[in-house]
Structure 1
Amino acid sequence: MSNTSTTTSTITSTTERIPVLIIGGSLVGLSAALFLAWRGIRPVVIEKHTASSPHPRAIGFTERTLEFYRAVGIADRIPQVPPGTRLRRVRATSLTGDWHGESDWTPGQDGAHAVASPCTGAALAQDRLEPILRTAAAAHGAELRLGVEMLAFEQLDDGVPVDVRDRATQQIHRVMADYVIAADGADSAIRETLGIARRGVGHLRTLRSLLFRCPEADPVLAKGIQQFNIEQPDLRAFLTTYGDGRWVLMFDDTEAYRAADPHELVHKALGSPFAVEMLAAGRWEMAGRIAERYRAGRIFLAGDAAHQLPPTRGGFGANTGIDDTWNLAWKLAWVLQGHSSSRLLDTYDAERQPIGWLRHQQTFARPDYARWAGDALQGETLYANEAMELGQLHRSFSVIGAGAELPPAASPAEWAGQPGTRAPHVWIQRDGQRLSTLDLFAHELVLLTGDGRWTDAARTAAARLPLPFKAVRVGSDVTFPADVPFDECFGVSSGGAVLIRPDGIIAWRSVDFPVNAAAVLEDALRTVGACPA
């Protein structure tokens, strides 16, 4: 066994067999548990803490993240922001002092974009979202074991034995998992034990933070600014709100600041001796490190274990990790359920690691962080906000037609049905009800077409394959609006078709109807779904 602890405790003799063990029960681990359980796999989550951190980190969730939560049925429990909402940042002498120099996350863009999603995103603190995820994951059959830590693991041909310990009782027992998701944070013991290296800008700063309430400061938010770079001769800090009555002040971990009275630092940043209730303090590292690979055998890295990035206005931190698990969950489910060969799991690293690296480059090339990274990323192409959120390209053998000549990101309108990108959102009608095109893609591969000849081809191909698969005909099963026709939206002719994966990624398309349509479609399905030999 690969050991991460040598403490002696009571050891049970039985070994428990489970399909997926998720190590780390924060945002990413809980999302993984929910996505897997919703797909019919009952994972076990272990988390060494017994509750959410009293000092939440993530506070913003993107449209894409809310699309995932919409799919699994919890979006209505998460209050979404009004359309067009964006985070605004200024330089300021203090919250109540002079403001100047508002800056955009992406220079030249104000953050607004066309309505390309059925969701608007959410401004919700991590410790408010995690209980929602726990409840939903458990309701779908996931087992959450809080106060339990990993001690050791090893990889065998038929699974991953993991020794875990209940921190309250000190009892140790062994779990044999078919697969493991390591969502155990930036200092991941699993990643380090596996010897997976990381690259990036590395360590930049160590910061301290103070979480507090200040009702007298809240009315300032009516001006529309939520983030403040505080610039005083003896205080350089960052002040922002969680939008729920809590504020956080961040500053360098220096001797001078450590020695200062926390209330005094907060009052200087506020510019007024308002009444303040201190809630928590924290210490964290600003760094950029991306794992060189996200998979080692039966173990998969997700979240900060795979990509350590600082909080950004683009939502590149926790949202990237949640996106990891949405990509991985359907693949694990299909392999465990016998639909696909284990080769399908190779596509997780192939698709997600380049996106992690892209988000690293985009983070440290933007003005918010460029000053800390020096000239390392000077001249890096900056992709539009909408492109980075809704238009990233996925490349692997499970995507047919995503060539190396294509950019790593573009707006959904520019892609127009390009394989490797998220299927475009359009409000459509089905049986008299309004729904998003994204609502069509959940558990199966879906062939979307306006030509009835594909229906016969799909029936022939489906009979020969073990894959969950269905055809949806535009014009009969669903109706697109006249001003957003299907063929224009997906880049096909009236005889064309597109194949969309369960994660909403376009896997293949045929611009026209080929002579040997059934054979062409069967080949595409076998490739995309990694059918067993």
Structure 2
Amino acid sequence: MQNVDVAVVGAGPTGLALACELRLAGVSCTVLEKRAEEPNLTRAFAVHSRTLELLDARGLADDLVTQGIVVREVSPTPGAVLKLEILANRYPFLLLMAQSRTELMLEKHARELGAQIVRGCAVTGLAQDGDGVTLSTTGGEMRAKFVVGTDGAHSAVRDLIGVKFAGKQYQTHILLADVQLARPPQETLFGVSNPSGLALFVPFGDSWFRAIVWDRSREQAPLDEPVTLAELQGSFRRITGDDYGMSEPRWSTRFLSERRQAERYRVGRVFLAGDAAHVHSPVGGQGMNTGIQDAFNLGWKLAAVLRGRGGDELLDSYQAERHPVGESVLKITDTLFNLVLSSSKVDAAVRRFIIRNALKIGRVRTSIAGRLSGVGIAYKPLSGTHQMVGKRMPDLTGVKGRLYEALREGKFVLVGADAGVWSDDVVSFEATSTPPVVLVRPDGYVAWAADRVNDGEVTAALRQWCGQRP
């Protein structure tokens, strides 16, 4: 029987990102994936600003940006434009990138760090006790101290631990297809919404486009009916007036989107992340991003507990921090879904009017940009703590580079003070400005902060978060 610190079930973006985080922290990790072959198609296509920041904290973002298409403004609803430069960070844009490319980058990095990835291996049983978890798989039994289910919307891990996946299914039939275009539209993100339906093209930068269609005249087509080129062409001509010379699709599907969330993200030594924890409408491109951010939150916490520097309270903070984020994402995507795909023309018109007028207000624009990009995500701190605690730490310029470069070892970073005897586990960062003293978590959020250096308070914070020292 194989023994490992953490078994990750599912080799999508969430599972691979988690494997990277665990191996960076020196934790043994095996990823089990029921798919025998690596994916060569794509589902998600958007990498948001906060996800790019986190990948930058591991030295992965800039190379990814060169492979994708940068979009600097989005339209939450027709007639309303949101310029992403309002984010004022290193990545004030949306990156269009095929999910398969993101997965390949993460898998390469995970393997380089020493993660074991086993394909063609499905989980069939799970039993946990006070010391660990025994997994039954099609490849034999495995023993792990912790298990994380990142195995998608139909998660076997979630079913095995008996967690309810609460929510609803939308009744709107959506077509997805990857096509090439003889006459591509000039707009980077092309979309038309009218009484006939909605039609979008998302470019992948390699001559292929994701076609997304909601055609009112095809609402009653059976979900198992194959999507044909003739149907796609007809829908685009009805909605946009042109089929843009689209080719036979290399991949297509007809589906009903869902809005569901796991009631709990943790049961004992088993955790849920990514689509196993939350699924929602693809409108807004939130799914993969939320999953990767789940992985960054959970990875360092599991590593800390395995090294004896944390306990149940730290593990419980994953649920406390990420479950509300999942709820928020479901609300955002539900709102966007109803803006562009509502069957009620009156309701849709009212929502669009509200959004267009709300975006004229500066603080509302900033709030919406922050929520869509992930930059505005913050975790609720304990009462009495500094106002920065739980918030995303912005990048800073330092004497020896940027703050997010200092995070690349996957350690805590202490800004504005010396880590002293904790220097093996904490990176000291000297900023060129004079911000408050801040202890930054490995996932780029503030663990502790103070307005001025106090050696006793700094020592207490380091002891709390990074363990005892002589």
Which TM-score bucket, shorter chain as reference? Answer: 0.7 to 0.9
Per-residue CA deviations over 1:415-443 (Å, capped at 9, x if unaligned) read xx71111111234441xxxx322222343
User: Using the alignment, how far apart are the partners of 1:370 and 1:249 within structure 2?
Assistant: 12
From 282, 299, 306, give the equivalent of 1:336.
Answer: 306
From 199, 214, 233, give the equivalent of 1:267.
Answer: 233
Deviation at 1:126, TM superposition (A): 0.9
Q: Quote the residue 1:98 is aligned against.
A: none
Give 1:57-72 correspondences, 5 Å limit. Answer: 57-72=43-58
CA spacing shift, 1:256–1:79, aligned 2, 3 Å: same
Q: Quote the residue 1:16 is aligned against.
A: 2
User: Using the alignment, how far apart are the partners of 1:400 and 1:89 within structure 2?
Assistant: 37
User: Using the alignment, how far apart are the partners of 1:77 and 1:512 within structure 2?
Assistant: 37
CA spacing shift, 1:473–1:124, aligned 2, 3 Å: closer
Q: Quote the residue 1:288 is aligned against.
A: 259
Q: Quote the residue 2:42 is aligned against.
A: 56
Give 1:246-257 correspondences, 5 Å limit. Answer: 246-247=208-209, 248-251=211-214, 254-256=219-221
**Code of the aligned partner of 2:142:** V
Segments of 5+ residues of structure 2 without an aligned counterpart are 359-363
From 101, 110, 115, give the equivalent of 1:142.
Answer: 115
Q: Quote the residue 1:28 is aligned against.
A: 14
Deviation at 1:199, TM superposition (A): 4.1
CA RMSD, 1 decimal: 3.3
The answer as to 2:270 corresponding to 1:299 is yes
CA spacing shift, 1:370–1:273, aligned 2, 3 Å: closer
CA spacing shift, 1:256–1:283, aligned 2, 3 Å: closer
User: Using the alignment, how far apart are the partners of 1:421 and 1:46 within structure 2?
Assistant: 33
CA contact under 8 A between 2:389 and 2:448: conserved in structure 1?
yes
Q: Quote the residue 2:180 is aligned against.
A: 214
From 240, 244, 249, give the equivalent of 2:201.
Answer: 240
User: Using the alignment, how far apart are the partners of 2:438 and 2:384 within structure 1?
Assistant: 11
The answer as to 2:191 corresponding to 1:223 is no
User: Using the alignment, how far apart are the partners of 1:282 and 1:189 within structure 2?
Assistant: 23
Structure 2 length-normalised TM: 0.83
CA spacing shift, 1:527–1:286, aligned 2, 3 Å: same
Q: How many residue pairs were aligned?
A: 442
CA contact under 8 A between 2:73 and 2:93: conserved in structure 1?
no
Segments of 5+ residues of structure 1 without an aligned counterpart are 1-14, 91-100, 166-171, 403-416, 475-479
Per-residue CA deviations over 1:139-172 (Å, capped at 9, x if unaligned) read 110111111101100111111100111xxxxxx4
| More helix by percentage | 2
Q: Which has the larger radius of gyration?
A: 1
Q: Quote the residue 2:60 is aligned against.
A: 74
User: Using the alignment, how far apart are the partners of 1:260 and 1:70 within structure 2?
Assistant: 40
Per-residue CA deviations over 1:254-307 (Å, capped at 9, x if unaligned) read 444766872222222152482512212224331222222211111111001111
CA contact under 8 A between 2:190 and 2:201: conserved in structure 1?
yes
Give 1:355-374 correspondences, 5 Å limit. Answer: 355-366=325-336, 369=339, 372=342
Larger RCO, structure (CA 8 Å, separation 6 or more): 2
User: Using the alignment, how far apart are the partners of 2:132 and 2:154 within structure 1?
Assistant: 24
Deviation at 1:507, TM superposition (A): 1.2
Structure 1 length-normalised TM: 0.74
Deviation at 1:78, TM superposition (A): 1.3
Identical columns (%): 26
The answer as to 2:451 corresponding to 1:511 is yes
From 434, 438, 457, give the equivalent of 1:486.
Answer: 434
User: Using the alignment, how far apart are the partners of 2:32 and 2:318 within structure 1?
Assistant: 22
**Code of the aligned partner of 2:322:** R
Q: Quote the residue 1:385 is aligned against.
A: 369
Per-residue CA deviations over 1:189-231 (Å, capped at 9, x if unaligned) read 222332223445x21136353424233132x1x2344333365
User: Using the alignment, how far apart are the partners of 1:115 and 1:445 within structure 2?
Assistant: 24
User: Using the alignment, how far apart are the partners of 2:229 and 2:70 within structure 1?
Assistant: 36
User: Using the alignment, how far apart are the partners of 1:519 and 1:256 within structure 2?
Assistant: 68
Per-residue CA deviations over 1:365-389 (Å, capped at 9, x if unaligned) read 34754864998xx899973212552
User: Using the alignment, how far apart are the partners of 1:345 and 1:373 within structure 2?
Assistant: 42
User: Using the alignment, how far apart are the partners of 2:125 and 2:272 within structure 1?
Assistant: 16
**Code of the aligned partner of 1:394:** Y
